[in-house]
Amino acid sequence: MLALEQSPQLECLDDGMRLHFVPEPNQPFSGHVYVKGFFFSKNCHLDYSRNVIRDPFFFHVPFKSECQIKREKQKQGTSYSMIVVVQHHPLFITEVDKAYDVSCFYNENQNNLEQSFEINDMTTAGLSDEKFLPDCSYVVVQGGLNGEPVKFANIGETLIHKWSCVTSNQGILVHTCYVRDGAGTEFLLLDDRGCPTNGSLIKEITYSSNLTSAYSPINAFKFADQMIVYFSCQITLCRQEDQGCEGITPPACGLPTIPDRNTTNPDEGVDIDGNGVTSTTTTTTTTTQPNNDINGRSEAQQADPSNIFFSMPFPSARHARKRRENNYTDVTLDVNSDSLIIFTKDENPGGSLAFRMDNICSAAYGQISIGWLCLIIGLVATCGTVLFIQHQHYERRLSNMAKLVMPLEMSFQRPQVPRSQADQAFVYQ
C-alpha cells in the first residue's frame, strides 16, 4: 500500500490553492509533492525524501508565485489551475505515482466557489465554499464623472477613466495599466503599486472614501499612425476590516518604494520623521511551522515590520505602511475598457459623421492581419476558378445538345426529280 493512497482534499483560498494529504497508518511518506515542471523550485516543491512524514500535511501554492498557476479569465468568473505530481520514490517516477489536475473557479455572479481535480481519467468534485468576487468595471466617459461612455475622441480632449467594484467590505487598488494599439505596441501607464509611470499622460488616481471606486482624468492620446487604442488594468481587492487595506490603497506614490523584507539590512536605520533622525530597532523571532512550510522545514523569520511608519514631507499625505505578510492575500482581477478611436484635427474636420465613418473603416482595415487578407484572397481566387471551369463545362454540353436538334433538312438531301420536256420548255419560256 502506498503512503498517499487516498486522494487529497482540495481547498480553494483567497490567496491560492491547498491540497491536504493524509498518509496511511504505518506508511510514512518519503517522496515528493510538487507542481509539474517545477521540481527544482523550492517554492513549488515539498521534499520529504530525507525527512519522512507520518502526520497529515498540506501543500499550499499561492496564486502569486513562481509556480506559474494557469489563470484564465472567463465570462462567468476566473479559473486557476495547475498539475500537482505526487512522487513516492525519492529519485524516480514510477507507475504508482499520480498527477492531479487541480482547478479552482471563482464565480463572479454567484456566491459560490467551484473546485475540482482530476486523477488521470477520474474526476472528483463536491467541495463548496462561500467565496465571492465582486463585479468590477472599467469605463471611459466624457463630460464629467457621470458622463456617457465615449467611443470617439479628439487628441487632447479630457476623458475620465473610471474603475469601480460592487462590494461593501473590500477596497480596490488600480494598478498595472497598459495602453495598446492592437498591433503589438504597448506602454505601461500605472506600475504594480498603482503609481503613474509618466506624469504627462496620467496623474495619480483619485479614490472614493469607501475605496470601492477610483477615477483619473486623462487627455486623449494615441500611437503614431494608429487610431484605435485599448486600455487594460488590474484591480486588486483588499479587506477593509481590521485596516486590511492600510498601506495598500490608496497608494502613496510620493514615497520611495519600501525594500522587501528579504533585502532589508536590519542594521540600517529607518528615517521615521523625515528630519534625518533614524531608528535602529530590530526584533527577530523564530517561528516553527512543521508540515506547513512550502519547503517542508522550519525557518527563522524576521518579525513583521508592519509597525514601521514613514512620515510624509507634505501635511496632507496619509501614513503609508508596507504590509509584509498576513493570513489574507489579495485577489487581483483583469479589467478592460472598450476600444477608443482617437482623431487628430486634420483627421476630423468639423466632426463630420461621414468622415468619421470613413476613418473608422480605414482604422478597422488596418487591424486586419496579413494572414486573414491572404486567406480571403485565396478563397476568392478558388471560387473564381471553380465558376470558370463550371461555365466551360456547361458551354460544351449546350453545344452538343444543339447538334442533336438541328433541322432535318440540314442533314437530309432531297432526291433529284427529272423534269419533263414540257416543264423544261415552260421554264425556258
Domains of the chain: which residue ranges? 9-125, 136-252+309-367
Residue-wise pLDDT tens digits, 370-412:
667 778 888 898 888 888 888 888 888 777 776 665 554 455 5
CA 230 to chain centroid? 14
Q: What is the pTM of this model?
A: 0.44
What confidence tier does 424 reach under pLDDT thresholds 50, 70, 90?
low
Q: What is the pLDDT of residue 303?
A: 34
Residue 185 or residue 61, greater confidence: 61
Rounded to an integer, what distance in angstroms lies between the CA atom of residue 80 and that of residue 71? 5
- What average pLDDT score do residues 97-126 get? 59
Domain 136-252+309-367: give its CATH code.
2.60.40.4100
- Cell numbers describing residue 24: 496511511
CB of 249 within 8 A of CB of 172? yes
Least confident of 57-71, 167-181, 310-324: 310-324
* Residue-level pLDDT at 355: 44
Task: Please report which confidence band the pLDDT of residue 126 belongs to, taking 50, 70 and 90 as the band edges.
Answer: very low
How many Å from the N-terminal Cα to the C-terminal Cα in the chain?
132
Cβ contact 72:81 at 8 Å: yes
